[in-house]
A and B are shown apart, each in its own frame.
Chain A
Amino acid sequence: MAKTILTVDDSGSLRAMVAFSLKAAGYQVVEAVDGQDGLSKAKEKTVDLVLTDQNMPIMDGLTLIRQLRGLGSYQKVPILMLTTESSDEMKAKGKAAGANGWLVKPFDPKRLIEVVQKVIG
């Protein structure tokens, strides 16, 4: 059965490209438009991996990660940040919040799939 990945980003075009790349590699994709939407969709169905942006309206990526890590079902689910942010300070905040990795935009689809496969197979 195909693994499910939740992609959270307020940019519709970015979500579409992430979904295109993941689906082409055989993954199921659930999309969310911001952290709040992501949290809501994550609660509906536990996914195998969360790929989230940082800067979003309503709820940002770091807050989403902290909220997810507070849920019993998401304590061990891999969470990757996919963001334009590239500073060491932000990466440290992501790691402290519970992120398992940091991908700086723009992403290369081949590289994205390699990372996803490494994290969830």
Chain B
Amino acid sequence: MNIIPVQALKQLLTGVSGHGNQHLSEVEADLQQTALLLGEAIETLSASFNAIHAAVAAQQLALDELLAAQGVQAEAAQPLRQLREEIGAQVGAAITAMQFQDMTSQLIGRMLKRIDGLRDLLAPLENGQTAMPHADEHEALSLLLHNMHERVRDKSQALNGGLRQSVKQQHMASGDVELF
């Protein structure tokens, strides 16, 4: 039976760890950039939303005063009342939808923690290089893989245990309400 030389296996695992870390860093940078863009987007959206709401409220007040001054009948002002209700409903829908950033930032935070954990999980593959005794190839290989397997398993379990899923929403419809 051909056995992979221990030194070659170590190099392979070190390569896997190195490439893995490189890609994780790329994902991490993309997520941080996404969080930044979403944060800036919600700030702009909130400012525009507040400005539009203030302008519409002022416009409605001016219209009310104008209608009162002109002595317009209540029936004639009915279309304006309907528009006001429609605006109110749309404002409510916008407030619900604009809560996306709170949820996405929690999800991104969880992803970044998992990336940290994955980086930690890959470390034993690289660290195995210094931990190896130079003994019989087959015995050394078994020991190397056994130790790595245990360390990776332990770190994976620790990672899962520390990352509870707090955002399970799949859409932006408003959530349940329960009074105790």
Contact = CB atoms under 8 A, between A and B. Distances in A.
Contacts of A16: 46
- Size band of the interface chain A makes with B: 20 to 34
Given A13-B101, A17-B99, A55-B106, A103 B177 contact: yes
B118 interface: no
Interface in B6-30: none
A104 B173 CA distance: 10
Nearest to A9: B102
B172 interface: yes
B101 A11 contact: yes
Instruction: Name the interface size band of chain B.
Output: 20 to 34
Contacts of B96: 106-109
A52 to B, nearest CB: 14
B43 interface: yes
A66 interface: no
Given A13-B43, A84-B106, A86-B168, A104 B177 contact: yes
A85 B167 CA distance: 6
Nearest to B169: A84
Given A103-B175, A105-B175, A109-B96, A95 B180 contact: yes
B111 to A, nearest CB: 15
Given A13-B102, A106-B175, 12 more contacts: A13-B42, A13-B99, A17-B99, A20-B53, A84-B167, A84-B169, A86-B168, A103-B175, A109-B91, A110-B92, A115-B179, A119-B179
21 contacts: A11-B101, A11-B105, A13-B101, A20-B50, A55-B166, A84-B102, A84-B106, A86-B176, A101-B178, A103-B175, A104-B169, A105-B99, A106-B96, A106-B99, A107-B96, A107-B174, A108-B92, A108-B95, A108-B96, A109-B92, A119-B179
